[in-house]
Amino acid sequence: MRIDLECSDGRDTVGIFSHRRLSGSVGTATAAFAPALLEGVTQPGVWFPEEPEGIAIEAREVLLERAALGTINFVMNK
């Protein structure tokens, strides 16, 4: 799964997450949003991850760390 990010410092970053099964990658990334919702760093409603209203920029690093759990390959360009 590829994730394109706009970082708080103005940089654009690309992340690649690989799990043994595609469903693992999508499921883990989706599950990473649950704690963010409970922590109050997302807006109410249904959002696509790429929408800026979906999760605060300051909370995206933690989201990516959670989404990377269980990956066989995790690469972020800097």
* Residue 54 vs residues 11, 42, 50, 67, 70: alpha-carbon distances, Å: 19, 6, 7, 15, 24
* pLDDT digit string, tens, across residues 22-69: 666 667 777 777 788 788 887 777 777 667 777 777 887 787 788 777
Distance CA 18, CA 72 (A): 6
At residue 73 the predicted structure's pLDDT band, cuts being 50, 70 and 90, is confident
